[in-house]
Structure 1
Amino acid sequence: MLIQKVLPFRKFLPARPAIQLLLSLLLTLVWQPSSWALQTRSDGAETTVSLRLKWFHQFQFAGYYAALEKGFYAEEGLNVHILGRDPGTSVVDDVVSGQVDFGVADSSLIVSRMNGSPVVLINPIFQHSPMVLISLAEKNILGPADLAGKSVMYQLDQDDAAIAATLSEVGLGHKDIISVPHSFDEWALLNSDVDAMSAYISNEPLAYRARGVKINLINPANYGIDFYGDNLFTSERMVNQQPETVVAFRRASIRGWVYALDHPDEIIDLILRKYKPEKSREQLAYEARSIRRMVQPDLLEVGLINRHRFDRIANIYRERNRVPRNADLAGFFVDDYLAPPDVRSMLLRWMVPLALVALAVLALMFVLNQRLKIRVSQKTRDAEEAREEVERYLSILDRHTCVMRVDSGLKVQYISVAFCQLTGYQSDQLLGKPHTVLLDQAHNEIRVGQLLEAIAAGQNWQAEVFLKRQDGEQLVMDVFAEPVMDPSGKVAGYNAVYLDMTQKKNAELLSITDTLTGLNNRNKLDSLLVKESKLVNRGSPVFSIILLDIDHFKLINDDNGHLVGDQVLREIARCLKRNIRETDYAGRWGGEEFMVICANTSLMGAETLAEMLRAKMAGTAFPEHIQVTSSFGVAEYSPGEAIDSLIKRADEGLYWAKNSGRNCVRARPCYVGSA
């Protein structure tokens, strides 16, 4: 793995799959995928493609139904046929043979690739695999180790990535259990002689419990296995011959998933009406809530991909001799076929993650040390020596990494020296206090609820939070939390690693902010104009701009001094902030010129806003009792128009206002495009 190649102290790490898995999970926090080439069809033709689902119609595939129903595919020039699971065929075989163009599979798609099948991953949709194992409670199967010698029904090499990894964690291989091909009967535990079966946590467990059947559930997430689920994929043939179609399908599908997760009731109605699932509305609603937790759209961009998590899966299959030892994932990711990232992006992509991974590994050593302490009395002298070695790294962790451990009562149980130094507190001021003691309550109420929900479900959680130092200064922190399990498998608190992002966030804000007025600067306004023009050119409502200039500003500076002139500029900025809408953007265009970008606004609406701003400014009390007025030019963007042309028309309106006596509004509505 990459980690073992780059860390100078890799020889001290125990060579255990669980440790390597945790390292892969930590990489998720810092890895950013390279930018994909965005291509669109230019000939206006409609392309017919097909998508084969991995299961029968249900909310599990809501994003694709939404993309079709809401016209997202049609907007990309695609005519899409969505096909339910065919138990008689393999989704991978259907895609590779060209019978269908796209498919959905779990992380075991890697097996096909490493065994020579030309499949290409487009996007993982579920950030966490929904695959679990269920058994009748009367079988008394409480954990993966209890499956030794038992019959287990699942889809070998198709939907078994998380299951294979879980068995590997307890030392079981494929030959240690009796593998039974999946019958696709959700009641197989009652209708056939199998001890356990694979299921989705969002589906079968609810069905069994609703029927009054007691079951036991083995969730790979509770054993540190956190793989992707429901991966959208295609074939090399499709990517090489129709790259524009692949990119368009991906873009529309992601839009569909975002819409479906935000409008679950609407999509449930669609599924019941159009796809006739074998599920009730209540079951679909439960499935929708479960899937939202697995996609995590509030924390991560839908479709976010971390290659190192797939490297972890590949290692598991190599260890189980399911793929050639020398096989790799070259050509598995769709990025490899599209436009390559520039050199700067590559440097940022590698340098920042490697720096953060060094700190993350130290945090990992701390967690490992706690687990060793629980079993120290049972360990041999070799284990004792290993514990002492880990403790040497713990002192490094304590001094250089912000770590907090929270007990089952949500009280601070441990706080690192580095964390105390960063926040200005002494450790005895924090130990025993609520785990929210350092949080800025005004900004974190929703995040605290999400954290507790994830930890209670035995899942990892990552987000950006705001802390308050003892002196009141606000800190922006990137936090990664993972649940701590007691010997019985119950959640007994959580560990959290914090990374200070304050300077980075301040630098980002400074790069787009005018330092004198606090408004958007010229660079930010330029990017907003490009963004709004692209939206209009894709069919969104028009937008307009207002360009305003302070009348006789040179005389204000000459008569009163530049300090007073700066006060006037700041007061104009405050007037703009108070009176524009939340959907508008205000910024300093240069000198005494300001711009307001009015999204989804016609020329008439922008003129009305400009006239209101003009009156507000004319009636504002400025420093030194100066009477200040401004002149306004307004223009509406026309589809296909260059940004420079739009600004020129607004500027012409401004000069017209100046020549009309100042303190007035003039609009330039006309734009004639090129023939």
Structure 2
Amino acid sequence: MSLSRLKRIESYSSPILLVIFVQLFLLFASVPTSVFAQARPKKATLITLWVPQAQFAGYYVAIDKGIYLKHGIDLKILRSGAGYNTFQTLKNGQADFAVLWLVTALKERSAGSKLVNISQTVQRSSMMLISKKTSGINRLEDMKGKKIGLWEGDLAIPARTLFTKYGINFREVRQSQTVNLFLRGGIDVASAMWYNEYHVVLNSGIDADQLNTIFLDKLGMKFPEDGIYTMEKTLKSDPELVDEFAKASLEGWRYAFDHPDEALDIVMKYMHRDEVPANRSHQRWMLLRIKDLMMTNGEPGRFGILQKDDYDAVCKVMFREGLIKHYTEYSNFFKGTHAGK
């Protein structure tokens, strides 16, 4: 090919390349920066009600399996447990999301804090009152005048409400995080969660047929417990983050229930990391009971949904007992959009 012909080709191609370059530059310049930002996960924080355990397996599984990252979230679970106030951590902006009981959320909402429920995980109360058959306590009425262990704070609300409803006067004893006082005979009746303290008592050497148990929800105390909450201002400022967090969390729970052994491995890892005493058999029991409490007849029909009837019922009870001064409409409180799916 002659030199003159090469020069002619070059003279034609240079303007074409320049035009292509300018068009590409204008194309990328017109793309919103949010598109590129999506490649960078948003940092977010969650605080649970207690130390790592299978009660919160879904969140730890969602971190370990990359589910939060898949939904564009770089999540950190903050330390919790004795000495930590879960709601205050959320309110003060130290956490973006928190696991709270419904009774706590309603109290704080009534007091002026604008928090919202984005997913109701535990659908019903798992609280029990347990006594030894040798105590002669066979029914609720037998608890009159007895020493009954109650936890401090909002965890005692369902039991106190029950006793008020049935006119039971009793001797209240502050119950710690262990069941030692009950095992040693220091109290006649202990508060227990079905997924936790009840199993601890069974593991202590007391057989189930040596105990009398009363489930509070069987006596009308239908108080849903663990739910995922955020502040209203967080929902308004970044609805996408809130939406994706709720979706990822429920996905983490589904994975945990479908892969229980792997979920237990993950939970145990975090328990060891935080130097929490870990018993795999107990954590397995906890995971299975939490599944029972989150699912309805084994199906995800109510999965993640705060039922309006449950919300209204708890609001009315707490209002009647003077625990809250007012309550908002259900639609203002529950903001879950992907629950049940």
Corresponding position of 1:329: 328
1:52 to 47, 54, 57: 47
Would the alpha carbon gap of residues 48 and 177 (structure 1) be closer, same or farther in structure 2, given more than 3 Å must change? farther
How many Å separate the matches in 1 of 2:188 and 2:170? 11
The more displaced of 258-267 and 176-185 is: 176-185
1:153 to 130, 149, 152: 149
Corresponding position of 2:71: 76
Q: How does 1:460-499 map to 2 (within 5 A)?
A: none
Deviation at 1:321, TM superposition (A): 1.6
Partner of 1:158: helix, strand, or coil?
A: helix
1:89 and 2:90 are equivalent in the alignment: no
TM-score, scaled relative to structure 1: 0.40
Cα RMSD (Å): 2.6
Q: Is the 8 A contact 1:47 1:79 kept in 2?
A: yes
What letter matches 1:283 in structure 2?
A: H
Corresponding position of 2:7: none
Corresponding position of 2:245: 249
Partner of 1:56: helix, strand, or coil?
A: coil
Alpha-carbon displacement from aligned partner over 1:406-452 (angstroms, at most 9, x marks no partner): xxxxxxxxxxxxxxxxxxxxxxxxxxxxxxxxxxxxxxxxxxxxxxx
Corresponding position of 2:301: 300
Deviation at 1:130, TM superposition (A): 1.6
Would the alpha carbon gap of residues 196 and 170 (structure 1) be closer, same or farther in structure 2, given more than 3 Å must change? same
What letter matches 1:211 in structure 2?
A: S
Determine what percentage of the aligned residue pairs are the same residue: 26
TM-score, scaled relative to structure 2: 0.76
How many Å separate the matches in 1 of 2:138 and 2:88? 35
Partner of 1:329: helix, strand, or coil?
A: coil
1:212 to 195, 198, 205: 205
Unaligned 5+ runs, structure 2: 1-33
Deviation at 1:256, TM superposition (A): 0.6
Q: What is the count of residue pairs matched by the alignment?
A: 292
How many Å separate the matches in 2 of 1:95 and 1:298? 31
Corresponding position of 2:227: 231
Partner of 2:335: helix, strand, or coil?
A: helix
Alpha-carbon displacement from aligned partner over 1:336-371 (angstroms, at most 9, x marks no partner): 9x9xxxxxxxxxxxxxxxxxxxxxxxxxxxxxxxxx
Q: How does 1:27-176 map to 2 (within 5 A)?
A: 42=35, 43-44=37-38, 45-109=40-104, 110-172=106-168, 176=169
Deviation at 1:78, TM superposition (A): 1.3
Corresponding position of 2:188: 195
How many Å separate the matches in 2 of 1:182 and 1:333? 32
Unaligned 5+ runs, structure 1: 1-40, 339-675
How many Å separate the matches in 1 of 2:323 and 2:270? 40
Deviation at 1:165, TM superposition (A): 4.5
Deviation at 1:225, TM superposition (A): 3.3
How many Å separate the matches in 1 of 2:112 and 2:64? 36
Alpha-carbon displacement from aligned partner over 1:588-643 (angstroms, at most 9, x marks no partner): xxxxxxxxxxxxxxxxxxxxxxxxxxxxxxxxxxxxxxxxxxxxxxxxxxxxxxxx
Deviation at 1:230, TM superposition (A): 1.0
Q: How does 1:265-276 map to 2 (within 5 A)?
A: 265-276=261-272
Q: Is the 8 A contact 1:73 1:252 kept in 2?
A: yes
What letter matches 2:77 in structure 1?
A: I
Corresponding position of 1:483: none
How many Å separate the matches in 1 of 2:194 and 2:97? 25
Partner of 2:289: helix, strand, or coil?
A: helix
Q: Is the 8 A contact 1:49 1:78 kept in 2?
A: yes
How many Å separate the matches in 2 of 1:142 and 1:120? 40
How many Å separate the matches in 1 of 2:146 and 2:97? 35
Deviation at 1:84, TM superposition (A): 4.5
Would the alpha carbon gap of residues 192 and 84 (structure 1) be closer, same or farther in structure 2, given more than 3 Å must change? farther
What letter matches 2:199 in structure 1?
A: L
How many Å separate the matches in 2 of 1:80 and 1:191? 42
What letter matches 2:60 in structure 1?
A: Y
**Structure of greater relative contact order (alpha carbons < 8 Å, 6+ residues apart):** 2
Would the alpha carbon gap of residues 139 and 158 (structure 1) be closer, same or farther in structure 2, given more than 3 Å must change? same
How many Å separate the matches in 1 of 2:231 and 2:285? 33
Deviation at 1:291, TM superposition (A): 1.8
What letter matches 2:204 in structure 1?
A: R
Deviation at 1:259, TM superposition (A): 0.8
Q: Is the 8 A contact 1:156 1:181 kept in 2?
A: yes
Deviation at 1:136, TM superposition (A): 3.9
Larger radius of gyration: 1
How many Å separate the matches in 2 of 1:111 and 1:64? 25
Would the alpha carbon gap of residues 268 and 153 (structure 1) be closer, same or farther in structure 2, given more than 3 Å must change? same
Q: Is the 8 A contact 2:195 2:290 kept in 1?
A: yes
What letter matches 1:263 in structure 2?
A: H
Deviation at 1:191, TM superposition (A): 5.8
Partner of 2:247: helix, strand, or coil?
A: helix
Would the alpha carbon gap of residues 237 and 299 (structure 1) be closer, same or farther in structure 2, given more than 3 Å must change? closer
Corresponding position of 1:410: none
How many Å separate the matches in 2 of 1:120 and 1:114? 12
Deviation at 1:63, TM superposition (A): 0.9
Q: Is the 8 A contact 1:104 1:233 kept in 2?
A: yes
Deviation at 1:152, TM superposition (A): 3.4
Q: Is the 8 A contact 1:124 1:305 kept in 2?
A: yes
Q: Is the 8 A contact 2:43 2:73 kept in 1?
A: yes
Partner of 1:258: helix, strand, or coil?
A: helix
Q: How does 1:505-516 map to 2 (within 5 A)?
A: none
Deviation at 1:106, TM superposition (A): 2.0
Q: Is the 8 A contact 2:222 2:314 kept in 1?
A: no
What letter matches 2:194 in structure 1?
A: I
Would the alpha carbon gap of residues 116 and 178 (structure 1) be closer, same or farther in structure 2, given more than 3 Å must change? farther
Corresponding position of 2:288: 289
